[in-house]
Amino acid sequence: MSILITGGAGFIGSHTAKLFYESGFDIVVLDSLVTGSRENAHWGSFVEGDISNIPLVCTILREYSVSAVLHLAASAHVGGSMLRPGAYFANNLSGSLALLDAMIAEGVLQFVFASSCAVYGNLTSAAAHEDDIATPVSPYGESKLAAERALPWYARAFGLRWTALRYFNAAGAADGFSGEPADSVRILPRAIRAAICTGPPLEVFGTHFETPDGSAIRDYVHVTDVARANLQALRYLEQGNSGAIFNIGSGIGASVLEIVRTLGAQIGKAVPFFARPARAGDPAYAVSDISRARDMLGWTPIKSQLPHIIDSLLCSRPLVAASLRGVR
C-alpha cells in the first residue's frame, strides 16, 4: 500500500514516515522544505513541492499509485499566525482544499488530517474533549478548524473517508533522530538552549494565568506516540470507518515553570528564565481528554511522561550531551 505523507520532511512527519516504512508501507513524501529538511526524508521517495500545486499532487498520486494521504504539511505557530493570518489561511485551509481536490480527481479517498488542539481556544474544562465547542483564539486554530469542517462535505459529495487528529504539543525524539530543529521556537528546545548557554535565557510568556503557578499549562506528547497515532488512524480508515476526530496528547498537563524545574533537576543546573507578558492567542490551559482515541483507535501514549520527553531530547543532540558533561 502506497501512502503520501505531506510535510514528511518535518519533525512529526519524519518520525511518522519512519514508522510507516518500518510497518511495510510504500512511502512518498511531499514537502516544500520551508520548515522541513531534506535530510529528514530518509524513507521511501521524496518530492519537493507544495500541496497547493494540484497538477503536481495529481501526478504523485497517479505515478506512485497512492491509496491514502496523511496530511501533516502546515504553518503551525500560534504567534506567527497572529502576525500573518493570511499566510496561515492560505496554507492550512486553501492548501488543504487543493490537496483534497487533487485526491478526488485521482480517486484517492482515504485521508488522515493533522489538526491541532488550537481549535479549542480557551478551554472551559480541565481537559478538552472532542465534543467540546471549538472556539479558536488564533488564526492558526481557526484555519485548522475550517479545514476540519470541510471534510464532512467532501465525504458527502465524493465519498471521502477521513479522520482528524487534534495534536497537542508534540515533543521529544526517537533514537537516532536529532529531535526538533536546532532553531525551534517550541518551549523544550528553547529551555535546553538556555540551560546549556547556547541560547538566551528562556522567555516565559505569561506568569499571571489562572493556573497553580501562574504559567500556562500544556499537554506534551512524545513524537513517537504521535507517529503511532497516525498509523492507528490509517488502520481505522482501512477498516471502513470514517468521520471521527481524535485528541492526541498525553492527557497530563505540565506548566511552563514545571518544565523549568524538571529540566533543571535532570541536568543539575538551574534554567535561566525571565517573565514576559502572555502572547495574544495563548490560552491558560490546553490539556487533552484521550479516552476516545483509546477506545476507538486502540491508542495510548507510552513515552509521553515529561522527564522521558526531556531526556529523549537531551540524548538526541550530541552537542547538547557534550555540553552537559561539564554541567552534571
Predicted confidence (pLDDT) per residue in 106-132, tens digit: 999 999 999 999 999 887 667 899 999
Q: What is the DSSP secondary-structure string of 133-164?
A: PPB-SSHHHHHHHHHHHHHHHHHHHH--EEEE
pLDDT in tens, 298-328: 999 999 999 999 998 888 754 454 444 444 4
pLDDT at 325: 44
Q: Which of 64, 88, 120, 140 is catalytic?
A: 140
Mean pLDDT (the chain) is 91
**Residue 23's beta-bridge partner residues?**
none
Those residues with Cβ within 8 angstroms of residue 48's Cβ, 6 or more apart along the chain or in another chain = 31, 32, 33, 38
**86 membership: H or E segment, kind and range:** helix 85-89
Asked if 96 and 184 sit in the same domain, the reply is no
Round to whole Å and give the CA distance between 61 and 104: 10
**Residue 273's beta-bridge partner residues?**
202
With respect to residue 48, please indicate whether it lies within any of the assigned structural domains: yes
Could you tell me how many residues make up the chain?
Answer: 328
Q: Supply the CATH number for residue 160's domain.
A: 3.40.50.720
pLDDT at 296: 97
pLDDT at 179 over 70: no
Asked if 87 and 15 sit in the same domain, the reply is yes
Average pLDDT over residues 167-196: 81
With respect to residue 297, please indicate whether it lies within any of the assigned structural domains: no
Contact criterion met (CB below 8 Å) for 232 and 23: no
Asked if 64 and 206 sit in the same domain, the reply is no
Round to whole Å and give the CA distance between 71 and 204: 31
Q: 59 or 197: which carries more pLDDT confidence?
A: 59
Average pLDDT over residues 247-260: 95
pLDDT at 36: 87
pLDDT at 327: 47
Catalytic site residue 64? Answer: no
With respect to residue 79, please indicate whether it lies within any of the assigned structural domains: yes
Continuous H helices in 163-222: 187-195
pLDDT at 174: 83
With respect to residue 111, please indicate whether it lies within any of the assigned structural domains: yes
pLDDT at 180: 67
Percent of the chain at pLDDT exceeding 70: 93
Asked if 11 and 149 sit in the same domain, the reply is yes
pLDDT at 142 over 50: yes
Q: Going by DSSP bridges, is the β-strand pair 66-71/2-6 parallel, antiparallel, or unpaired?
A: parallel
Contact criterion met (CB below 8 Å) for 119 and 134: yes
Asked if 139 and 256 sit in the same domain, the reply is no
With respect to residue 32, please indicate whether it lies within any of the assigned structural domains: yes
Asked if 206 and 136 sit in the same domain, the reply is no
Round to whole Å and give the CA distance between 17 and 284: 33
pLDDT at 218: 92
Asked if 104 and 196 sit in the same domain, the reply is no
Asked if 49 and 69 sit in the same domain, the reply is yes
pLDDT at 94 over 80: yes
pLDDT at 128: 93
Asked if 99 and 241 sit in the same domain, the reply is yes
Task: Estimate the share of the chain in helix, then strand, then coil, as percent rounded to the nearest 5.
Answer: 40, 20, 40
With respect to residue 296, please indicate whether it lies within any of the assigned structural domains: no
Q: Which three cell numbers stand for residue 282?
A: 495563548
**323 membership: H or E segment, kind and range:** helix 318-324
Which range has the top average pLDDT, 68-72, 187-191, 193-197, 206-210? 68-72
With respect to residue 295, please indicate whether it lies within any of the assigned structural domains: no
Which of 39, 44, 61 lies closest to 109 in space, CA to CA? 61
Asked if 231 and 92 sit in the same domain, the reply is yes
pLDDT at 324: 47
Domain containing 271: what range? 171-218+250-289+302-324
Give the E-state strand segments of the chain in sequence order.
2-6, 26-31, 45-48, 66-71, 110-116, 161-167, 169-171, 202-205, 217-222, 244-248, 253-255, 273-276, 285-286
pLDDT at 119: 95
Amino acid at 224: T
Which of 32, 306, 271 lies closest to 168 in space, CA to CA? 306
pLDDT at 144 over 80: yes
Asked if 118 and 100 sit in the same domain, the reply is yes
* 169 C-beta neighbours (distance < 10 Å), count: 21
**How many domains are there within the chain?**
2
pLDDT at 222: 96
Q: 268 or 234: which carries more pLDDT confidence?
A: 234
With respect to residue 312, please indicate whether it lies within any of the assigned structural domains: yes
Q: How far lies 204's CA from each of 100, 129, 177, 208, in Å?
A: 39, 27, 27, 11
Those residues with Cβ within 8 angstroms of residue 314's Cβ, 6 or more apart along the chain or in another chain = 192, 266, 267, 320, 321, 324
pLDDT at 239: 96
Round to whole Å and give the CA distance between 108 and 308: 38
Which of 178, 203, 177, 179 lies closest to 190 in space, CA to CA? 203
Asked if 202 and 133 sit in the same domain, the reply is no
pLDDT at 321: 46
Q: Supply the CATH number for residue 202's domain.
A: 3.90.25.10
The pTM of the whole model exceeds 0.85: yes
Q: How far lies 149's CA from each of 93, 115, 145, in Å?
A: 10, 11, 6
Helix orientation angle between 306-316 and 187-195, rounded to the nearest 10 degrees: 60
